[in-house]
Amino acid sequence: MTMSPQSTNRLATAASIALEPEDEDSAPKPRRNVSGRLSTHVMDNRTAYVMIAPMVVLLGIFVWWPLLYSFYLSTFEISFYEDPVFVGLQFYGYVLEDPDFWHSIGIGALYVLYTVPVIMIVAFLVASFIRTCGIKLAGLLKTTVYVPTVVSAVITSVVFVFMYRADGGLVNWLIGFVGLGPFAYLSDPNIALPAISVPGIWLAFGITTLIMLAGMYDIPQSYYEAAQLEGANFVQRTWFITIPLMKNVLLYLLVTATIAGMQQFELPLIMTQGGPTNSTMTPNLFIFNQFKDPTPYATSFSLTAALLLFFVLGGVSMLIFRLIRSDKAIDA
Protein backbone atom coordinates (compact mmCIF):
# COMPACT_ATOMS: atom_id res chain seq x y z
CA MET A 1 0.00 0.00 0.00
CA THR A 2 1.26 3.46 -0.72
CA MET A 3 0.46 6.48 1.36
CA SER A 4 -0.92 9.03 -1.02
CA PRO A 5 -0.65 12.70 -0.15
CA GLN A 6 -4.39 12.71 -0.29
CA SER A 7 -4.76 10.30 2.58
CA THR A 8 -2.24 12.29 4.61
CA ASN A 9 -4.32 15.33 3.83
CA ARG A 10 -7.40 13.64 5.20
CA LEU A 11 -5.46 12.66 8.26
CA ALA A 12 -4.33 16.22 8.74
CA THR A 13 -7.93 17.41 8.52
CA ALA A 14 -9.03 14.76 11.00
CA ALA A 15 -6.21 15.72 13.32
CA SER A 16 -7.08 19.41 13.17
CA ILE A 17 -10.72 18.66 13.93
CA ALA A 18 -9.69 16.48 16.85
CA LEU A 19 -7.45 19.22 18.20
CA GLU A 20 -10.05 21.95 17.96
CA PRO A 21 -11.19 23.24 21.38
CA GLU A 22 -14.76 22.33 22.09
CA ASP A 23 -15.94 25.62 23.55
CA GLU A 24 -14.04 28.45 22.06
CA ASP A 25 -16.07 31.26 23.56
CA SER A 26 -16.27 30.00 27.10
CA ALA A 27 -14.01 31.63 29.70
CA PRO A 28 -10.93 29.77 31.00
CA LYS A 29 -11.89 27.28 33.69
CA PRO A 30 -9.91 26.26 36.73
CA ARG A 31 -7.28 23.61 36.01
CA ARG A 32 -9.10 20.79 37.86
CA ASN A 33 -12.13 21.28 35.66
CA VAL A 34 -10.05 21.14 32.51
CA SER A 35 -8.30 17.94 33.52
CA GLY A 36 -11.60 16.55 34.71
CA ARG A 37 -13.19 17.31 31.37
CA LEU A 38 -10.21 15.81 29.56
CA SER A 39 -10.39 12.55 31.47
CA THR A 40 -14.16 12.42 30.93
CA HIS A 41 -13.54 13.00 27.23
CA VAL A 42 -10.94 10.21 27.16
CA MET A 43 -13.23 7.85 29.08
CA ASP A 44 -16.20 8.66 26.87
CA ASN A 45 -14.24 8.03 23.69
CA ARG A 46 -11.91 5.28 24.85
CA THR A 47 -13.33 2.75 22.44
CA ALA A 48 -12.64 5.14 19.58
CA TYR A 49 -9.07 5.72 20.79
CA VAL A 50 -8.46 1.99 21.13
CA MET A 51 -9.84 1.46 17.64
CA ILE A 52 -7.59 4.06 16.04
CA ALA A 53 -4.53 3.19 18.13
CA PRO A 54 -3.22 0.39 15.87
CA MET A 55 -3.43 2.65 12.82
CA VAL A 56 -1.70 5.51 14.64
CA VAL A 57 1.04 3.14 15.80
CA LEU A 58 1.51 1.67 12.32
CA LEU A 59 1.50 5.09 10.64
CA GLY A 60 3.99 6.29 13.23
CA ILE A 61 6.33 3.38 12.58
CA PHE A 62 6.01 3.12 8.83
CA VAL A 63 5.27 6.70 7.75
CA TRP A 64 6.05 9.43 10.25
CA TRP A 65 9.21 8.07 11.80
CA PRO A 66 10.87 7.14 8.45
CA LEU A 67 9.87 10.54 7.05
CA LEU A 68 11.31 12.49 9.96
CA TYR A 69 14.40 10.32 9.99
CA SER A 70 14.84 10.91 6.25
CA PHE A 71 14.79 14.67 6.82
CA TYR A 72 17.37 14.22 9.54
CA LEU A 73 19.55 12.06 7.26
CA SER A 74 19.26 14.55 4.40
CA THR A 75 21.35 16.97 6.42
CA PHE A 76 24.31 14.60 6.17
CA GLU A 77 26.49 13.34 3.35
CA ILE A 78 25.64 9.71 4.04
CA SER A 79 28.13 6.93 3.82
CA PHE A 80 27.30 3.36 4.75
CA TYR A 81 30.95 2.72 5.53
CA GLU A 82 32.34 5.87 7.10
CA ASP A 83 31.01 8.44 9.54
CA PRO A 84 28.43 10.68 7.87
CA VAL A 85 29.43 14.33 7.47
CA PHE A 86 26.93 16.96 8.61
CA VAL A 87 26.29 19.39 5.75
CA GLY A 88 23.09 21.09 6.88
CA LEU A 89 20.78 22.01 4.01
CA GLN A 90 23.54 21.93 1.37
CA PHE A 91 21.95 19.13 -0.65
CA TYR A 92 18.62 20.98 -0.82
CA GLY A 93 20.52 23.76 -2.55
CA TYR A 94 22.21 21.28 -4.90
CA VAL A 95 18.92 19.70 -5.92
CA LEU A 96 17.02 22.97 -6.26
CA GLU A 97 19.63 24.49 -8.54
CA ASP A 98 20.02 21.33 -10.64
CA PRO A 99 18.40 22.00 -14.04
CA ASP A 100 18.02 18.23 -14.60
CA PHE A 101 15.80 17.95 -11.50
CA TRP A 102 13.46 20.67 -12.75
CA HIS A 103 13.58 19.23 -16.24
CA SER A 104 12.40 15.89 -14.85
CA ILE A 105 9.56 17.63 -12.98
CA GLY A 106 8.61 19.27 -16.28
CA ILE A 107 8.64 15.88 -18.03
CA GLY A 108 6.43 14.46 -15.25
CA ALA A 109 4.00 17.36 -15.66
CA LEU A 110 3.94 16.89 -19.43
CA TYR A 111 3.24 13.18 -18.98
CA VAL A 112 0.33 14.10 -16.68
CA LEU A 113 -0.95 16.50 -19.32
CA TYR A 114 -0.83 13.79 -21.99
CA THR A 115 -2.46 11.08 -19.89
CA VAL A 116 -4.79 12.39 -17.18
CA PRO A 117 -7.34 14.31 -19.33
CA VAL A 118 -7.58 11.39 -21.75
CA ILE A 119 -7.96 8.85 -18.92
CA MET A 120 -10.66 10.96 -17.24
CA ILE A 121 -12.67 11.60 -20.40
CA VAL A 122 -12.43 8.09 -21.83
CA ALA A 123 -13.21 6.53 -18.44
CA PHE A 124 -16.22 8.86 -17.98
CA LEU A 125 -17.62 8.02 -21.40
CA VAL A 126 -17.09 4.28 -20.97
CA ALA A 127 -18.61 4.37 -17.46
CA SER A 128 -21.61 6.34 -18.75
CA PHE A 129 -22.09 3.75 -21.47
CA ILE A 130 -21.77 0.77 -19.10
CA ARG A 131 -24.35 2.37 -16.79
CA THR A 132 -26.92 2.27 -19.54
CA CYS A 133 -26.28 -1.43 -20.30
CA GLY A 134 -28.13 -4.43 -18.93
CA ILE A 135 -26.69 -6.38 -15.99
CA LYS A 136 -25.07 -9.14 -18.04
CA LEU A 137 -23.48 -6.88 -20.63
CA ALA A 138 -22.37 -4.43 -17.94
CA GLY A 139 -20.69 -7.29 -16.05
CA LEU A 140 -18.84 -8.37 -19.17
CA LEU A 141 -17.75 -4.81 -19.97
CA LYS A 142 -16.63 -4.15 -16.40
CA THR A 143 -14.45 -7.27 -16.46
CA THR A 144 -13.05 -6.32 -19.85
CA VAL A 145 -12.06 -2.77 -18.96
CA TYR A 146 -10.48 -3.99 -15.74
CA VAL A 147 -8.10 -6.38 -17.49
CA PRO A 148 -5.33 -3.77 -18.18
CA THR A 149 -5.22 -2.96 -14.46
CA VAL A 150 -4.09 -6.48 -13.57
CA VAL A 151 -1.46 -6.60 -16.33
CA SER A 152 1.98 -5.73 -14.99
CA ALA A 153 3.39 -2.40 -16.18
CA VAL A 154 6.64 -4.20 -16.98
CA ILE A 155 4.92 -6.62 -19.34
CA THR A 156 2.94 -3.79 -20.91
CA SER A 157 6.17 -1.87 -21.49
CA VAL A 158 7.85 -4.81 -23.20
CA VAL A 159 4.80 -5.45 -25.41
CA PHE A 160 4.62 -1.79 -26.43
CA VAL A 161 8.34 -1.70 -27.20
CA PHE A 162 7.72 -4.49 -29.71
CA MET A 163 4.64 -2.73 -31.07
CA TYR A 164 6.59 0.50 -31.60
CA ARG A 165 9.59 -1.05 -33.31
CA ALA A 166 10.60 0.71 -36.51
CA ASP A 167 11.43 -2.60 -38.18
CA GLY A 168 8.32 -4.71 -38.23
CA GLY A 169 6.43 -3.23 -35.26
CA LEU A 170 2.63 -3.54 -35.28
CA VAL A 171 2.03 0.22 -35.14
CA ASN A 172 4.24 0.94 -38.15
CA TRP A 173 2.64 -1.96 -40.01
CA LEU A 174 -0.83 -0.47 -39.41
CA ILE A 175 0.05 3.08 -40.40
CA GLY A 176 1.86 1.64 -43.42
CA PHE A 177 -1.59 0.94 -44.93
CA VAL A 178 -2.22 4.67 -45.17
CA GLY A 179 1.21 5.31 -46.58
CA LEU A 180 2.82 6.65 -43.40
CA GLY A 181 5.94 5.72 -41.49
CA PRO A 182 7.86 3.85 -40.43
CA PHE A 183 8.69 6.00 -37.41
CA ALA A 184 11.20 5.21 -34.65
CA TYR A 185 8.76 6.27 -31.93
CA LEU A 186 11.01 5.66 -28.97
CA SER A 187 14.12 7.21 -30.56
CA ASP A 188 12.62 10.57 -31.49
CA PRO A 189 12.82 13.06 -28.59
CA ASN A 190 9.63 14.76 -29.83
CA ILE A 191 7.38 11.71 -29.86
CA ALA A 192 8.93 9.39 -27.26
CA LEU A 193 6.92 10.88 -24.36
CA PRO A 194 3.56 10.79 -26.18
CA ALA A 195 4.46 7.23 -27.24
CA ILE A 196 4.98 6.04 -23.65
CA SER A 197 1.83 7.91 -22.59
CA VAL A 198 -0.32 5.51 -24.65
CA PRO A 199 0.44 2.43 -22.51
CA GLY A 200 0.12 4.74 -19.48
CA ILE A 201 -3.44 5.57 -20.50
CA TRP A 202 -4.21 1.95 -21.32
CA LEU A 203 -3.03 0.78 -17.91
CA ALA A 204 -4.94 3.38 -15.88
CA PHE A 205 -8.27 3.87 -17.61
CA GLY A 206 -9.84 0.55 -16.48
CA ILE A 207 -9.70 1.13 -12.74
CA THR A 208 -10.70 4.77 -13.27
CA THR A 209 -13.75 3.60 -15.21
CA LEU A 210 -14.80 1.23 -12.43
CA ILE A 211 -14.46 3.89 -9.73
CA MET A 212 -16.47 6.34 -11.84
CA LEU A 213 -19.07 3.67 -12.42
CA ALA A 214 -19.36 3.07 -8.66
CA GLY A 215 -19.90 6.82 -8.24
CA MET A 216 -22.55 6.83 -10.96
CA TYR A 217 -24.44 3.88 -9.44
CA ASP A 218 -24.66 5.92 -6.22
CA ILE A 219 -26.73 8.64 -7.89
CA PRO A 220 -30.44 7.91 -7.31
CA GLN A 221 -32.19 6.86 -10.49
CA SER A 222 -35.15 9.10 -9.56
CA TYR A 223 -33.10 12.21 -10.43
CA TYR A 224 -32.69 11.00 -13.96
CA GLU A 225 -36.33 9.98 -14.26
CA ALA A 226 -37.43 13.41 -13.09
CA ALA A 227 -35.05 15.08 -15.53
CA GLN A 228 -36.28 12.90 -18.35
CA LEU A 229 -39.88 13.87 -17.54
CA GLU A 230 -38.79 17.50 -17.82
CA GLY A 231 -37.35 16.70 -21.25
CA ALA A 232 -33.62 16.82 -20.41
CA ASN A 233 -31.42 15.08 -22.95
CA PHE A 234 -28.31 12.96 -22.23
CA VAL A 235 -25.90 15.91 -22.31
CA GLN A 236 -28.09 17.94 -19.97
CA ARG A 237 -28.53 15.00 -17.59
CA THR A 238 -24.76 14.45 -17.56
CA TRP A 239 -23.93 18.13 -17.10
CA PHE A 240 -26.54 18.98 -14.47
CA ILE A 241 -26.86 15.70 -12.57
CA THR A 242 -24.01 13.26 -13.07
CA ILE A 243 -21.02 15.60 -13.00
CA PRO A 244 -22.11 17.75 -10.01
CA LEU A 245 -23.00 14.68 -7.95
CA MET A 246 -19.73 12.96 -8.83
CA LYS A 247 -17.59 15.95 -7.96
CA ASN A 248 -15.82 14.23 -5.07
CA VAL A 249 -15.23 11.04 -7.02
CA LEU A 250 -13.83 13.02 -9.95
CA LEU A 251 -11.66 15.06 -7.63
CA TYR A 252 -10.27 11.90 -6.01
CA LEU A 253 -9.52 10.39 -9.42
CA LEU A 254 -7.96 13.60 -10.70
CA VAL A 255 -5.62 13.88 -7.73
CA THR A 256 -4.60 10.21 -7.67
CA ALA A 257 -4.11 10.10 -11.46
CA THR A 258 -2.02 13.28 -11.37
CA ILE A 259 0.17 12.02 -8.56
CA ALA A 260 0.54 8.58 -10.17
CA GLY A 261 1.42 10.28 -13.47
CA MET A 262 4.07 12.47 -11.87
CA GLN A 263 5.51 9.34 -10.26
CA GLN A 264 5.56 7.27 -13.46
CA PHE A 265 8.63 5.06 -13.40
CA GLU A 266 8.36 1.62 -14.99
CA LEU A 267 7.31 2.72 -18.49
CA PRO A 268 10.26 5.06 -19.17
CA LEU A 269 12.66 2.77 -17.30
CA ILE A 270 11.91 -0.19 -19.54
CA MET A 271 10.90 1.49 -22.78
CA THR A 272 13.43 4.33 -23.11
CA GLN A 273 15.68 4.44 -20.02
CA GLY A 274 14.73 8.12 -19.82
CA GLY A 275 15.98 8.91 -23.31
CA PRO A 276 16.33 9.94 -26.04
CA THR A 277 18.18 13.01 -24.73
CA ASN A 278 16.34 12.82 -21.38
CA SER A 279 12.99 13.46 -23.08
CA THR A 280 11.27 10.79 -20.94
CA MET A 281 13.27 11.31 -17.75
CA THR A 282 10.44 11.39 -15.21
CA PRO A 283 11.23 12.56 -11.65
CA ASN A 284 11.36 9.07 -10.12
CA LEU A 285 13.58 7.73 -12.89
CA PHE A 286 15.89 10.73 -12.46
CA ILE A 287 16.17 10.01 -8.73
CA PHE A 288 16.71 6.30 -9.41
CA ASN A 289 19.56 7.10 -11.82
CA GLN A 290 21.15 9.48 -9.34
CA PHE A 291 21.37 6.56 -6.92
CA LYS A 292 23.84 4.80 -9.22
CA ASP A 293 27.31 6.05 -8.28
CA PRO A 294 29.01 4.36 -5.32
CA THR A 295 29.60 7.73 -3.65
CA PRO A 296 28.06 9.35 -0.55
CA TYR A 297 27.18 12.33 -2.75
CA ALA A 298 24.93 10.18 -4.98
CA THR A 299 23.11 8.70 -1.98
CA SER A 300 22.45 12.04 -0.31
CA PHE A 301 21.48 13.74 -3.55
CA SER A 302 18.88 11.11 -4.43
CA LEU A 303 17.47 11.13 -0.89
CA THR A 304 17.11 14.92 -0.90
CA ALA A 305 15.63 14.93 -4.41
CA ALA A 306 13.07 12.35 -3.25
CA LEU A 307 12.10 14.51 -0.28
CA LEU A 308 11.77 17.58 -2.47
CA LEU A 309 9.64 15.60 -4.91
CA PHE A 310 7.40 14.79 -1.94
CA PHE A 311 6.87 18.53 -1.46
CA VAL A 312 6.27 19.10 -5.15
CA LEU A 313 3.62 16.37 -5.22
CA GLY A 314 2.06 17.68 -2.00
CA GLY A 315 1.97 21.14 -3.56
CA VAL A 316 0.31 19.84 -6.72
CA SER A 317 -2.34 18.01 -4.65
CA MET A 318 -3.06 21.11 -2.58
CA LEU A 319 -3.32 23.19 -5.74
CA ILE A 320 -5.90 20.83 -7.20
CA PHE A 321 -7.90 20.77 -3.96
CA ARG A 322 -7.78 24.58 -3.86
CA LEU A 323 -8.81 25.02 -7.49
CA ILE A 324 -11.65 22.53 -7.35
CA ARG A 325 -13.32 23.11 -4.01
CA SER A 326 -14.26 19.80 -2.49
CA ASP A 327 -17.87 20.00 -1.31
CA LYS A 328 -20.10 17.42 0.22
CA ALA A 329 -22.44 16.03 -2.39
CA ILE A 330 -25.96 17.20 -1.78
CA ASP A 331 -28.31 14.42 -0.72
CA ALA A 332 -26.53 11.77 -2.72
Partner 1 sequence: MHKRITRLTTVGLAAAAVGILLAGCTPSSGGATTEDGKSKVVFWQQKFEDYQQDWFKAQVAEFNDSQDEVEVELVVVPADTWDQKLKAAQAAGKAPDVKTTSYGNIKPMQANGQIADLTGLMDDGAFDDIAENIAPFVTIEGGVYGYPLLVEPSTVLFYRADLLAAAGIDAPPTTWDELLDDARALTKDGVYGMNIAQTAPDLGWSSWGLQYTAAGDLPLRGDWSEASAVDPAYEDLAKFYQTLYSEKLMPQEATYPYADCSFFGEGKVAMSACGSWALGQISANPDWAGVWENTAVAAFPSIDGDPTQPTSTLGGWTLTVDAKSKVQDGSAEFVQWLLADDTDRLVDFFTATGFSKYPARVSVTEALAATPEAAENAFLATITEDIVPYAKAEPSYPWDVSIAFATSLEKAMRGGDIPAAMNEAQAAIEDVIKKQKLAGTGGD
Q: How many CB atoms lie within 10 A of CB 54?
A: 9
Q: Does 81 bind partner 1 (CB under 8 A)?
A: yes
Q: Does 82 bind partner 1 (CB under 8 A)?
A: yes
Sole window of 74-82, 151-159, 212-220, 240-248 interacting with partner 1 (rule: CB under 8 A): 74-82
Sole window of 80-88, 142-150, 258-266, 315-323 interacting with partner 1 (rule: CB under 8 A): 80-88
Q: Does 167 bind partner 1 (CB under 8 A)?
A: yes
Beta-bridge mates of residue 24: none
Residue 68: CA count within 13 A, CB half-sphere: 6
Q: Does 293 bind partner 1 (CB under 8 A)?
A: yes
- Which C-beta is closer to partner 1: that of 172 or that of 208? 172
- Which C-beta is closer to partner 1: that of 134 or that of 294? 294
Sole window of 130-138, 239-247, 250-258, 276-284 interacting with partner 1 (rule: CB under 8 A): 276-284
Q: Does 163 bind partner 1 (CB under 8 A)?
A: no
60: DSSP letter: I
Q: Report the site for partner 1 in 185-214 (rule: CB under 8 A).
A: 186-187, 189
- What Rg value do the Cα atoms of the chain yield, rounded? 25
Exposed (0-12), middle (13-18) or buried (19+): which is 324, by Cβ within 10 Å? middle
Is 107:279 a contact under the CB 8 Å cutoff?
yes
**Which of 42, 51, 57, 85: binder of partner 1 (CB under 8 A)?**
57
Distance of alpha carbon 266 from alpha carbon 270, whole angstroms: 6
Q: Does 102 bind partner 1 (CB under 8 A)?
A: no
Residue 96: what residue type? L
Instruction: Give, in degrees to the nearest 5, the angle at Cα 210 between 239 and 58.
Output: 115
- Provide the binding-site residues for partner 1, judged by CB under 8 A: 50, 53-54, 57, 61, 79-82, 94, 98, 165-167, 184, 186-187, 189, 273, 275-278, 288-289, 291-299
